[in-house]
Amino acid sequence: MSSFMYGRLRILIVEDEGYTRRVIRGLLRQSGVREIAEAEDGGKGFLELLQFRPHLVFCDIHMEPVDGLEFVRIVRAAESKVIAETRIIFLTADAQRDTVMSAKELNIDGYLVKPVSLNRLQAKLHETILLNPELH
């Protein structure tokens, strides 16, 4: 997948730790992504999603006051089909089986465990883009 293709993407990062947001933003920029928005919890993330309309969201799970699981529930329950079907990839340090299963039940589009490398991030981006024909 070329950086040209990545350059067409709008990506939202929902993550409570500023350092981690900067790292993810840096990896996305290295991949050629130019339009990146950020939010520090799921509540702010949903408001940003409504305004920014990202193609993809990278979301942490453990945040307050609105965590990543609740963020996904809110997105999936949206009246707008476009909003409800937003592609969301959890990017979290939590690899516990119960958490992964909860994510799967919410129709999450991917699950990456921190720390994430550039190659793993690009592979997940590529996989998600291939499943999204309107981005080709």
Per residue in 31-45, pLDDT tens?
A: 999 999 999 999 999
The count of structural domains within the chain is 1
Per residue in 65-113, pLDDT tens?
A: 999 999 999 999 999 999 999 999 999 999 888 988 888 899 899 999 9
Question: What CATH number does the domain containing 94 carry?
Answer: 3.40.50.2300
Cα–Cα dist 93/68, whole Å: 12
pLDDT at 134: 58
Query: Which domain covers residue 46, as residue numbers?
Result: 3-135
For residues 30, 108, 102, 51, the Cα torsion angle rounded to the nearest 10 degrees is 80
What is this structure's pTM? 0.92
Pairing of strands 10-14, 35-39: parallel
Helix (H, G, I), strand (E, B) or coil at 88: strand
